[in-house]
Amino acid sequence: MEIRELSIAGSFEITPKQFPDDRGIFLEYYRFDKLAEAVGHPLDLKQANTSVSKRGTVRGIHFADVPPSQAKYVTCTRGAVIDFVIDIRVGSPTFGQWDQVRLDDVDRRAIYIPEGLGHCFVALEDDSTVSYLCSATYAPGREHGVNPLCKTIGLDLQLAEDELLLSPKDTEAPGLLKAKEQGLLPKYDDCVAFYNELNEKAGA
């Protein structure tokens, strides 16, 4: 597989090598050792999730308190989504910026999103099926959101606004600057310290 760091430091696009034959296709979509080499520590898998979404569904922008937050390794096993990683870490040199990866059942890419960054995707097809490997279990009291339609962030969701389907929770979530004012966002220095701690543990 090929692993490429995105413009938001610490996040990665993973492109697997596919092996087709007359029976179908085989591929490795996750290798803990390859990912750990790129990230600096392995993904400590604690939970796996799957979502199935109609075209136009937007899920996110979601994040969790650091530590431990929740690192995610995300792939699309059916259909297609545009997956976004958003830097919401206050004090980061790329605060408010984002990058994207198309995840689909053709190239079968994955994206790794470290702790402290925001995650969002928009489904481009009906029944788009997304699988997430997570480093921590869901903890409702530590989970937060930023409105995916926030103009300050300006995600390119690639569909008309009247085609988008958002949950009430995501619709009611604050914009980036309001979330910052409310003290909801992780701090960049705290995230870097946590990453260093994980790297040191991996090297012990």
Q: Can 41 be counted among the known catalytic residues? A: no
Percent helix, strand, coil in the chain, to 5, is 20, 35, 45
**Nearest CA-CA partner of 117 in 7, 2, 3:** 7
Distance of CA 105 to the CA centre of its chain: 18
Catalytic residue, chosen from 41, 62, 119, 144, is 62
Q: Can 144 be counted among the known catalytic residues? A: no
Contacts of 34 (CB under 8 A, 6+ apart): 1, 3
Catalytic residue, chosen from 30, 112, 119, 132, is 132
Q: How far, in Å, CA of 182 to CA of 186, rounded?
A: 11
**Which residues are catalytic, by number?**
62, 132
